[in-house]
Chain A
Amino acid sequence: MTVVVEPEPAQSAATATGHDLPGPVVFESSAFDQLLDAIKRRGFHVVGPMIRDGAICYDDLGSASDLPEGWTDEQEAAHYRLKKRDDDALFGYNVGPHSWKKYLFPPYARLSPPERPPDKRFAFIGVRSCELNAIAIQDRVFLGGHHKDRHYESRREDALIVAVNCGEAGGTCFCVSMDAGPRATRGFDIALTELLGDNGHRFLAEAGTTRGAEILTEVRTRPADAGDVGAASAATENAVASMGRAMPELDLRALLEGNYEHPRWDDVAARCLTCGNCTMVCPTCFCFSIEDISGLSSDSATGDPERHRSWDSCFTLDHSYLHGGSVRVSDRSRYRQWMTHKLATWIDQFGTSGCVGCGRCITWCPAGIDITEEVAAIAADS
């Protein structure tokens, strides 16, 4: 049994929950720029997917023409390739090496003196359901405890989220078995389902907040009809049906916390390079280390040296450094730490699973290690 938290709606006066919002509408794919323009007019910093360096990455989105139109990603363990589609879908891919933590929890940031919050709030275009869940999971870490992280909060609060519902599963996806998709149900301002086919290339758009609904009024839309709604449901069903893997339906916490000495850990350790790719691409990994910068740069107000933070990974030897040595030295102990944290002890620490089934760790692992397979192997003989 997996535990996932529902994403909270963005905390702002412009939002509302549920039932007083208008019903779904449809707009033509050619009108996509109207959506982007409506968002830009409201002063958002718009970021979204585009092709860069042979992958679909997140970056500043100028217009709909920046989107990876007609491209898809072919993913398997240790494999990622872009492939041309035979249609002109704007969101016909799943997830790339970037996740939205790139913006909410940047790889490198100054903690002290505090950075000025960005002038503009972020608008994220093309957020998958797994990613919505991942954002909610990081919200718990950075905002859900006794202390809030102001740096994260300043980027998270009032961020506009335009979600996109997947019409097919990616090669390494398993969000269904992690209860994290494929359909976005909460936590977005607008959710889009891209529909292609006989009735034209169009988007079904659902407003999740008042401001999402307002934005949609500035796009040329028509109310969704039964056909549109049916097509959107069919797209979701197709995503579910095409999912190629699943996390075993087990109490992962009991399984993993009860199997710290399972021989499988030696087996995976022999393959794992401890390169940390998985932790970099994972949308929920949150470890960071603090750096003290001594030297010429200092805060003019207090004269204090600066303090920065940067992403850290439990795969590094230093991660568990204590008194002249590290607690976790072997590859085995570090891989075990990552996997048991992601799937089991995260639940104890934060009340949810750390995994949303996005499959990035499988795709970007040079050794092709697949956590669903590792869990199955441990479950098979425990």
Chain B
Amino acid sequence: MPQTLEPLLRDHAFFAGLEPGYLALIVGCAANEVYPADAFLFREGEPAQTFYLIREGKVALEVAAPGRGALVVQTLGEGDVVGFSWLIAPHRWEFDGRAVEPVRALRMDGTCLRAKFDDDPRLGYELMRRFAGLTVNRLQATRLQLLDVYGRAHDH
């Protein structure tokens, strides 16, 4: 019997504390992916029905700006989750996701998961709760970035 991805899910920080029964339920929505350096996991504008649990490596969220090349807004690494766009309409990627260095990730299928949530709303609650926490952290980090605390000194 081939080994399932369950141990890999269990090891990822996102699923910490999730009942083993639920892990078994959703493992079918997971795929193990490997990306070489500079490969794109997803591109801005494409339909977003997946999210990624980074197991190894670094992913840059970028936006392509004419004349300025690619601007990295944030990098995410081992233990992080990439991809919130699958949660809300219009389900399109807002940024490019590029592997800065070789990346191993679990790609989670949002359509598959949503079907499971319909069957068991409590599973949906558990995952949404985790996403809410991530979103709050991400928001706070973004605000700290915006504050530009290291900014250029004032002349006086």
Q: Bound state CA distance, A325 and B153, in angstroms? A: 11
- Asked if A324 is at the interface (CB within 8 A of a chain B CB), the reply is yes
- Asked if A52 is at the interface (CB within 8 A of a chain B CB), the reply is no
- Asked if B68 is at the interface (CB within 8 A of a chain A CB), the reply is no
- Asked if B156 is at the interface (CB within 8 A of a chain A CB), the reply is yes
Decide if the interface of chain A is mainly helix, strand, loop or mixed: loop
A292 shortest CB reach to chain B, Å: 15
A186 shortest CB reach to chain B, Å: 48
Q: Bound state CA distance, A325 and B151, in angstroms? A: 14
- Asked if B154 is at the interface (CB within 8 A of a chain A CB), the reply is yes
- Asked if A323 is at the interface (CB within 8 A of a chain B CB), the reply is yes
In which size bucket is the chain A interface? under 10
B156 shortest CB reach to chain A, Å: 6
**Chain A residues whose C-beta falls within 8 Å of the C-beta of B155 in the assembled complex:** 324
Interface size on B, residues (CB 8 A): 4
A316 shortest CB reach to chain B, Å: 16
**Chain B residues whose C-beta falls within 8 Å of the C-beta of A325 in the assembled complex:** 154
Decide if the interface of chain B is mainly helix, strand, loop or mixed: loop
Query: Which residues A310-334 have CB closer than 8 A to chain B?
Result: 323-325
Q: Bound state CA distance, A263 and B22, in angstroms? A: 53
**Chain A residues whose C-beta falls within 8 Å of the C-beta of B156 in the assembled complex:** 324
B148 shortest CB reach to chain A, Å: 14
A318 shortest CB reach to chain B, Å: 11
Interface residues as binary, A286-324 with B (CB distance below 8 Å gives 1, 0 otherwise): 000000000000000000000000000000000000011
Q: Bound state CA distance, A323 and B149, in angstroms? A: 12
A244 shortest CB reach to chain B, Å: 47
Query: Which residues B45-91 have CB closer than 8 A to chain A?
Result: none
**Chain B residues whose C-beta falls within 8 Å of the C-beta of A324 in the assembled complex:** 153-156
B147 shortest CB reach to chain A, Å: 15
**Chain A residues whose C-beta falls within 8 Å of the C-beta of B153 in the assembled complex:** 323-324
Q: Bound state CA distance, A116 and B135, in angstroms? A: 67
Query: Which residues B139-156 have CB closer than 8 A to chain A?
Result: 153-156
A350 shortest CB reach to chain B, Å: 32
Interface residues as binary, A122-154 with B (CB distance below 8 Å gives 1, 0 otherwise): 000000000000000000000000000000000
**Chain A residues whose C-beta falls within 8 Å of the C-beta of B154 in the assembled complex:** 323-325
A241 shortest CB reach to chain B, Å: 55
Query: Which residues B82-123 have CB closer than 8 A to chain A?
Result: none
When C-beta atoms are compared, the residue in chain B nearest to A324 turns out to be B154
When C-beta atoms are compared, the residue in chain A nearest to B155 turns out to be A324
Please name 7 pairs of A and B residues whose Cβ atoms are closer than 8 Å in the assembled complex, sorted by A: A323-B153, A323-B154, A324-B153, A324-B154, A324-B155, A324-B156, A325-B154
Question: Could you tell me which B residues sit within 8 Å of A by CB distance?
Answer: 153-156
Q: For the complex of A and B, list the 4 residue pairs with the smallest distance between their C-beta atoms, beginning with the closest.
A: A324-B154, A324-B156, A323-B153, A323-B154
